[in-house]
Amino acid sequence: MNNERLKIYVNDHLALLVGETELAERCHKANGEASLGQFLQQLSADLHSEQQLLRDMLERIGGTPSLVKQSMAWLAEKVGRLKLNDALLEYSELSRLVELETLFGAAHERQSLWENLEATHAADTRLLSINFTQQLQQAQRHCDALAKHRLEAAKKAL
| Total domains present in the chain | 1
Question: What pLDDT, on a 0 to 100 scale, did the predictor assign at position 77?
Answer: 85
Average predicted confidence (pLDDT) for the chain: 92
Tens of pLDDT, residue by residue over 14-35, are 999 999 999 999 999 998 878 8
Residue whose C-alpha is closest to residue 21's, from 45, 3, 37, 56: 45
* Domain extent at residue 20: 3-157
DSSP string, 2-19: -HHHHHHHHHHHHHHHHH
Say which CATH number the domain at 11 has.
Answer: 1.20.1260.10
pLDDT under 50: residue ranges of the chain: none
Neighbours of 86 (CB within 10 A): 10
Does residue 124 contact residue 146 with C-beta atoms inside 8 Å?
no
- Distance from the first to the final alpha carbon of the chain: 47
Does residue 114 contact residue 143 with C-beta atoms inside 8 Å?
no
